Amino acid sequence: MLDLGPEGPQPPPVMDSNRLNTNVHYKPQITMSPGCFSMSITEGDTLSLNCSAKGNPAPSYDWLLSQADPNPMEERSVVTITNIAKSHSGDYTCIARNLLGNSTCTVNVEVTVDYLPIFAGLAAAVVVILLVVSCFTYSSYYKHRRMGHYQLKDMLPRRHKNKHVVQHNGMDQSFM
The series of mean pLDDT values per 10 residues for the chain, 176 residues long, is 62 73 89 78 90 92 76 78 90 92 92 81 88 81 58 57 56 51
* Nearest residue to 157 (alpha-carbon basis) of 144, 172, 167, 168: 172
Contact predicate 82/11, CB 8 Å: no
Q: Quote the pLDDT of residue 28.
A: 93
Contact predicate 53/26, CB 8 Å: no
What is the distance in angstroms between the CA of the first residue and the CA of the last residue of the chain? 166
pTM equals 0.54
Q: Give the burial class of 27: count Cβ atoms within 10 A of its Cβ; 0-12 exposed, 13-18 middle, 19 or more buried.
A: middle
For 100, residues 6+ apart whose C-beta sits below 8 A from its C-beta are 25, 26, 27, 55
For 119, residues 6+ apart whose C-beta sits below 8 A from its C-beta are none
